[in-house]
Structure 1
Amino acid sequence: MTVTPYAIGFLCALPLAATVSAAPPTSLIERYAAAARAETPRFPGFSAARGETLHRTEHAGGKPDTPACTSCHGKDAQGPGKTRTGKAIEPMAASASPGRYQDPAKVEKWFKRNCNEVLGRECTPREKGDWLAYMAGQ
């Protein structure tokens, strides 16, 4: 068996790849799923398609200058966004920002702030899980 330099580089990178996960932590997803089941006993599971709809749809309940997540985060989840004041925002896609969803407290902080600005209310556990499913697939 011949081991090429490419194979050696790949094998050396495996331990690093295992430590930097792009997906949200399972514990966070399980917490949102448990809360969603408590609200909806026939909870069907999270849906990336519903998450994408939530992300792209313009809503009337929040602030007029932020009717959709795309108002600041852009239409391409793999690209950077920009706040209303012009400050850069890292891409939302888990593949483009691997460490983004690893701190559950930080995720919850941003959901609270952004859902209130866009929807005029907090997101439901199902909405949070759907949105994370969408971002995990990007």
Structure 2
Amino acid sequence: MKHLSGLGKQTLIALIAAGTLSAPAALLAADPAAGAAGWTKEYPAPDGSKARSCATCHGTDLTQPGRHVKTGKTIDPMAPSVNPQRLTDEKKVAKWLLRNCRWTLGRECSDTEKADFIAYIKTQ
């Protein structure tokens, strides 16, 4: 089994408690590089519109604001280094991972994908 890394034990425990990750995710080693690759990977849109990725709305520089491609709404920077509120509320993290994975990937993210995305965001 893999050792905990990337997110840290306390973060994993909090995300499991919030229901963001299932208990087996505690055995995963979060991989920021995999999160970065997944961030820019494009997925076909279920409605036939242009393919989308996390970067479509959030951008590739997570220290800068993003803009929702459909609504035009400004999205605060994802990087905790410039937006200290990011990743502090486990319920919000769970809510937005569920919503954004469904919209972007067309499905819920796996526990591994969630852990990797969070690990990537934390590096910014």
TM interval, shorter chain, is 0.7 to 0.9
Match of residue 24 from structure 2:
35
For 1:113-124, list aligned pairs within 5 A: 113-124=99-110
Q: Which runs of 4+ in 1 moved over 4 A?
A: 24-28
Q: How far 1:29 sits from its partner (Å)?
A: 2.1
Structure 1 101/91 Cα, relative in aligned 2: closer, same or farther at 3 Å?
Answer: same
Unaligned runs of 5+ in 2: 1-6
Q: Secondary structure at the match of 2:44?
A: coil
Structure 1 88/25 Cα, relative in aligned 2: closer, same or farther at 3 Å?
Answer: farther
Match of residue 55 from structure 1:
39
> Does residue 79 in structure 1 map to residue 52 in structure 2?
no
Q: Larger deviation: 107-116 or 90-99? A: 90-99
Q: Matched residues in 2 for 1:133 and 1:113: separation?
A: 19
Once the two structures are superposed, what CA deviation does each residue of 1:4-53 show, in whole Å capped at 9, x if it has no partner?
xxxxxxxxxxxxxxxxxxxx89544232373326xxxxx55010000001
RMSD of aligned C-alpha atoms?
2.3
Unaligned runs of 5+ in 1: 1-23, 38-42
Q: Matched residues in 2 for 1:25 and 1:99: separation?
A: 18
With normalisation by structure 2, the TM-score equals 0.77
Q: Matched residues in 1 for 2:30 and 2:12: separation?
A: 9
Q: 1:94 aligns with which of 80, 91, 95?
A: 80
Q: Matched residues in 2 for 1:52 and 1:62: separation?
A: 23
Which structure has the highest helix share of the two? 1
Q: How far 1:100 sits from its partner (Å)?
A: 1.4
Q: How far 1:97 sits from its partner (Å)?
A: 1.1
Bigger Rg, structure 1 or 2: 1
Q: Matched residues in 2 for 1:57 and 1:67: separation?
A: 8
- Over the matched positions of the two proteins, sequence identity in percent amounts to 37
Indicate conservation of the 8 Å contact 1:62/1:118, yes or no. no
Q: Matched residues in 2 for 1:47 and 1:25: separation?
A: 12
Once the two structures are superposed, what CA deviation does each residue of 1:97-137 show, in whole Å capped at 9, x if it has no partner?
11111111111110111000111111111111100100101
One-letter amino acid matched to 2:99? R
